[in-house]
Structure 1
Amino acid sequence: MKIIGKNSLSQYISYLLFVLFVIIAFNLVYEIIGHGILFYKYKTGSTVFPDTFALANDVGWTKNKWTIPMENQLKFRINYPFSEIQMVTGIYASKQIIHNIIGMSFLSLFFLFSYQCFKEMSADQIFNPNAIRWLKRFCFLNLIIAAAGIFEFFYFRMDSAYTLLTFLFFGFFGIIILFIVEFFKKGLALQAENDLTI
């Protein structure tokens, strides 16, 4: 099986990435709707959808050494529709809600941009302006999330080395893609030269 071009591995990977994008985008939209409903419940004291969108001091967290100190804080839990499966939970604070939504937005864009990159790599002409455009967007997305994450890590004085390594990984990934963009530019230029000589 070919790695790039039509009917290749890159084409099948692009299909998988598109499915992942749709799933993550659904989660993002559902989470935004859920936080809207939770905000309405917080402001009005409403009990609408009590099992799906919970807002209380007790949302079913197991009592342990991490959760006991947070017993008296307002928490939220959003379940998937028509199920008891938890999608997201946490302390009901604007900082955490914004952080969750930004994280899901990044994941949605990550899978969308990677889908577009692989889709362009499965085209007849791999070196094309669209491939370069999507690779650049993918590169800048990774560099922006890395810079924002590293800033957040040091600004809020986080103590998890894994968090810092994750953001460094995205930065490194963005730099690698920057080199791939240059490779694609050279390939496009050589392809154009070759077309002119023919």
Structure 2
Amino acid sequence: MNLSRPLLLASNSPRRKELLTGLGLDFIVRVKDVHEDFPNDLKGAEVAEYLASHKADAYKDSLSDEVVITADTIVCLGDRILNKPQTHHEAAEMLRALSGKSHEVITGVCLLSKEGKSVFHDTTKVYFKELSDSEIDFYINHYKPFDKAGAYGIQEWIGMMGIERIEGSYFNVVGLPVQKLYAKLVELNYLSC
């Protein structure tokens, strides 16, 4: 892989780091604290794209020749957005709400350079089996999913035993739609093979 300029990943997510590494890309990580509030009138993909773009804005005054990658993953159950749970009780409530239903995982991505900004998203539909209270408690107690939207990680135990199927990109649910990201980096001439 040949990058035309340095890549900067603006995320501490170990999953996003792993996915970018898996694409064969060299990058550095630089994270700034950004509030993740969004206007109440936004829905679904608009929220994910807004948050990814908002995170990128924190870097625009300090850019030289890098391309900054920011992302935000949200879980939508109908019109309800399930953010990161703060407590065991909140996580259990979220997982009970997802149990036996389908929901959407939407990741917004922003690529920011001195030349401009490109914002896009990917959506994956996820189907959970009926989860028992004991399965939910086991997962929360052993995996502590407090850093995950919707209170779960598809790559963890609950994904292995509880997700019946998905429609769309698995990697999008993990936290980064790498196929779309790769295509966008090539389209914008930041990456060539």
Instruction: Please indicate the TM-score interval, normalised by the length of the shorter structure.
Output: under 0.3
Higher gyration radius (CA): 1
Larger proportion of helix: 1
Larger proportion of strand: 2
Give the number of the structure with larger relative contact order, counting CA–CA contacts within 8 Å between residues 6 or more apart: 2
